[in-house]
Structure 1
Amino acid sequence: MELRQLEYFLAVAEHSNFTRAAEALHVAQPWVSAQVRRLERELGHELFDRSSRALKLTEFGKMLFPLAETALQTVGKIRSTASAMAGVLCGHLAIGTVDHPLPLLADALAAFHQAHPAVSITLTEARSDQLTAAVLERKLDVAVVGQGSSTPPLLREQLLTQQNIVAIVHRDDPLASRASISLEDLRNRALISHPQGSGVRKILDQACLAQGFVPDIAFETSSVDMMNHLVTRDLGVAVAPEFPADRLDRVRQIDLSDEVMRGRLTLVWREKGATPEAEAFAAYVSELCSAQTDLVGVP
């Protein structure tokens, strides 16, 4: 049995198709098929049900899938550790992030890549809850997430910036002339907010429940541009981190007086079992945070 065979097996399982798996692996499709067949002969079990167009794992294939993932991850860690001991990083760094305009992540990536060009890097965008779970499940090495005041268990964190969560209204809205409002003022208003599972949404939901009501969420989006479009068409009040200045031409941004409407954007990684690449990248982020004094609140 070869590691390459396990890699091909996982790719076919993930894509449910030999051709798409071969394209993702950048190898010829017949070669992938032949290696999977060879693995099946060595194990004495079929791994895929080929009776339909979409491949499905057999029961044995389902049992093998997590074992193959663990085997490849372990080999990757061994190689990374050996390289790190030699002073060279050449493994893989899987990064996740929420949607945000903070340039610090790109700056850290640039510095890290320049110092460790042999490390391959992937970047995934998702909600904070999905990213946190992926780091804990070792599907991601590090992630930029939005959250409240507490750090998730089993994770280390580096604070990137504090977030002021505000209300964004149409410029002709009755609230537009006010410098500050409270959540109580939004009790009967249609709201535009981040999706369930995001750090900002968790803060909003908990704060409203503490005031004795459930927020009326008319639209969910993580996109600043989409929020802006919805507010300018008077479809609701957005509750989100502060908008960039260039998005405020047709809307008004109002402070929320509720103290709980504050959040944080942080980098998180595993407290135990972090890869050398994750530790090195976190060190670059920490160094940039120490040097940067004018961070802007972001979603």
Structure 2
Amino acid sequence: MIQTDALAAFAVFADHLNFTRAAAALHLSQPALHVKVAKLAATVGRPLYQRSGRTLTLTPEGEAVARFARDLDARMAAFLTEVRDAEAVRPLTLAAGEGAYLYLLGEVVRTFRPLRLVNRDSARMLASVRAGRVDLGIGVLEVLPDDVTTVLLASYPQTLVLPVDHPLAGHAELTLRDLAGVSLVLPPANRPHRRTVERALRAAEVDWALAIEAEGWPLTLHFVTLGVGLSIVNGCVRPPAGFTAREITDLPRVPYYAVHLPSRADDARLAELLSAVRLAI
């Protein structure tokens, strides 16, 4: 039989993936934590983590056990709150990227309580949802995974940010061919937004130049305001003073999704948070 204290200990270990730090967080000795994890693995009948050099990673079975442990902890907390009729509840954890926090979720951050915030790009957000480390994730998804629940929140056009006195600002909307000869501020080559833009420009046979690579919308817009180049951003991104944005009609719209585990579909508090997010966006 699986002991709940072993599950709780493993959940902490899964968060740290380091026996020293996890043992300290649990106020246990490292040998004691090793024993708990080993006994849990023996009960499950599968290894729960693997070592590559000095790095520990969870096996698929370890991810499942950690997810179960966190879900059990959340259900226990909800049960105790209900039994005690207490107002204090476990904070929900929301994971989103920098752009979503800056331009979409301000009202949720200001008003929803209790709420714990973590900053994650879409790939890390999905991993955190799958592992049960966050309750709700918000991000742009190129492909919809089938192991989590996804809810479309909104989609935005891709827009060119440029000075209000730039010749292209006289157009109500733009096409990729209007960008011929333009120098662009774009993310690094491995980022999804960069891949999308480059593929589209190449397909449209548009000659363009890379002005500079920038990670994140604030730095991107900073370089645009310095005159380094123009930039293509999601339509939810607000241009700085003295600049405007024009939709590029032949670029795909950018969809933002909320993501949670299917097992949380009937969670009333999660539904409340998702409703707040939808109203904000």
Residue 278 of structure 1: which of 259, 262, 270 is its match? 270
Q: Distance in 1 between matches of 2:59 and 2:126?
A: 25
- SS at the partner of 2:98? coil
What is the match of residue 255 of structure 1?
246
- The count of corresponding residues between Structure 1 and Structure 2 is 269
Sort the Cα spacing of 1:56 and 1:192 in 2 relative to 1 into closer, same or farther, 3 A: closer
Report deviation, 1:142: 1.6
In the superposition, relative to structure 1, how do residues 233 and 112 fare at CA in structure 2: closer, same or farther (>3 Å)?
A: closer
Match status 1:239 vs 2:201: no
Equivalent position of 1:157 in the other structure: 151
Residue 139 (structure 2) aligns with: 145
CA distance in 2, matches of 1:130, 1:214: 34
Aligned to 1:181: 174
Question: In structure 2, what is the equivalent of residue 20 of structure 1?
Answer: 21
Q: 1:95 to 1:217 in 2, by over 3 A?
A: farther
Q: 1:109 to 1:228 in 2, by over 3 A?
A: closer
Alignment-mate amino acid for residue 269 of structure 1: H
Which amino acid in 1 is paired with 2:22? A
Cα distance in structure 1, aligned partners of 2:30 and 2:48: 12
Question: What is the match of residue 135 of structure 1?
Answer: 129
Distance 1:15 1:134 in 2: 13
Alignment counterpart, residue 218 of structure 2, candidates 206, 225, 229: 225
Structure 1: how far apart are the matches of 2:48 and 2:272? Answer: 38
Question: 1:21-100 residue pairs with structure 2 within 5 A?
Answer: 21-22=22-23, 25=25, 28=27, 31-39=28-36, 65-66=62-63, 68-79=65-76, 82=79, 90-91=89-90, 93-100=92-99
Q: How does 1:109-120 map to 2 (within 5 A)?
A: 109=109, 111-113=111-113, 117=114
Going from structure 1 to structure 2, the CA distance change for 1:130 and 1:191 (only over 3 Å counts) comes to: farther
- Secondary structure, in 3 states, of the residue corresponding to 1:181? coil
Over 3 Å counting, the alpha-carbon distance change for 1:220 and 1:143 in structure 2 is farther
Identity of aligned residues (%): 19
Is the contact between residue 152 and residue 255 of structure 2 (CA under 8 Å) also seen in structure 1? no
Q: Provide closer, same or farther for how the CA distance between residues 134 and 186 of structure 1 changes in structure 2, counting only shifts above 3 A.
A: farther
Aligned to 1:107: 107
Distance 1:272 1:48 in 2: 24
Give the Å deviation of 1:275.
Answer: 6.4
Shift of residue 69 of structure 1?
1.0
For structure 2, list consecutive stretches of 5 or more residues without a partner in the other structure. Answer: none
User: Hey, what's the Cα distance between the residues in 1 that align with 2:56 and 2:102?
Assistant: 41
CA distance in 2, matches of 1:163, 1:44: 46
Change (3 A) 1:17 1:231: same
Unmatched 5+ residue regions in structure 1? 290-294
Question: Mean alpha-carbon deviation: is it higher for 225-234 or for 127-136?
Answer: 127-136
Change in CA separation of 1:254 and 1:269 when aligned onto 2, cut-off 3 Å? same
Within 2, Cα distance between the matches of 1:284 and 1:171?
Answer: 34
**With structure 1 as the length reference, what TM-score do the two structures score?**
0.63
Counterpart amino acid of residue 167 in structure 1: L
Residue 292 of structure 1 aligns with which residue? none
**Alpha-carbon distance between aligned partners in 2 of 1:267 and 1:106, rounded to the nearest angstrom:** 16
Give the Cα–Cα distance (whole angstroms) in 2 for the partners of residues 165 and 175 of structure 1: 15
Contact 1:166 1:255 in 2 (8 A): yes
- Alignment partners' CA distance in 2, 1:151 and 1:34: 42
